[in-house]
């Protein structure tokens, strides 16, 4: 298990082995998702990474929003 320490400026350095395993780069954005007493760190995907994610989705039960203002 790899650990990190919270600095006096409330910063944490992600260990090199974790960054390399997930191919995380400097400047990449992350979301912090609270889960009980824990926090999940998730990289925020770019638009290009999201392109095509819903390909093949069933839209037959799609509800339009024409009834809203």
Compute the Cα dihedral for 22, 25, 31, 33 and give only its sign.
positive
Predicted TM-score (pTM) of the model is 0.65
pLDDT at 69: 66
Q: Work out the average pLDDT over 5-18.
A: 94
Cα 44 versus chain centre, distance: 4
Reply yes or no on whether the pLDDT at 59 is more than 80.
no
- Quick one: tokens of 51? 């392109």
Q: Mean pLDDT in the chain? A: 89
At residue 36, does pLDDT exceed 90? yes
> Which parts of 8-47 are beta strand (E)?
30-35, 38-43
60 Cβ contact partners less than 8 Å away, ≥ 6 residues apart: none
The residues spanned by each domain of the chain are 16-48
């Amino acid at each position: 298990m790899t650990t990190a320490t919270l600095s006096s400026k409330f910063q944490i350095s992600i260990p090199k082995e974790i960054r390399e395993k997930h191919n995380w780069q400097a400047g990449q954005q992350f979301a912090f998702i609270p889960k009980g007493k824990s926090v999940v760190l998730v990289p925020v995907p770019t638009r290009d990474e999201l392109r095509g994610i819903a390909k093949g989705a069933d839209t037959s039960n799609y509800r339009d929003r024409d009834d809203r203002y």
